[in-house]
Amino acid sequence: MKIRKTSVLFYTVLALFLASCSSSSFDYLGKTYPPTTNPELFFRDQDVPKDYEVMGKVMAEVPYSKKLKYVQAKIEQVARENGADAFILSDINIRSNGTVSGSGGASTGGKVRIGGGVNKTKSNELKHVEATLLKYKN
């Protein structure tokens, strides 16, 4: 019986740990063209030397512990895969999200028992980066 309780506790803790881990997301919304090999990087639209059309946006959220070089490389990969000639990195900021949990009371056996609630707050900081994908006009 003790082994069973230990394994149930282990799997419960493991599930909670895995659920609490932050993962990275790189979402693209826009047009797609044949893949390119080396899109150019810009930080301001006035630095782009050619006429272009905006293809779409990439929105990235990664755990705070991830380096911005990692984010840049992943956005460049999304740009290549969707046929961008260039991309503009913008709107780099830190966001905090959190969860709050609690418990309520119950009554049993004709007696009223009031249970107290315990609130837990968990906060995760995320890096949020947006990029605009560009296609040069001919």
- Token duo for residue 66: 């991830």
Kindly indicate the confidence band of residue 132, based on its pLDDT and cuts at 50, 70 and 90: very high
Residue 56, helix vs strand vs coil: strand
Q: Is 22 exposed, middle or buried (0-12, 13-18, 19+ CB in 10 A)?
A: middle
- Of residues 14 and 60, more confidence is placed in 60
Bridge partner list, 25? 61
Query: What mean pLDDT comes out for the span 81-86?
Result: 98
Domain coordinates of the chain in residue numbers? 22-102+119-136
**pLDDT above 70 coverage of the chain, percent:** 64
20, pLDDT greater than 90: no
Decide: 123 and 101 in contact? Cβ < 8 Å. no
| Cα 71 from Cα 87, distance rounded (Å) | 13
Query: What mean pLDDT comes out for the span 100-129?
Result: 62
Q: Considering the entire predicted model, what is its pTM? A: 0.66
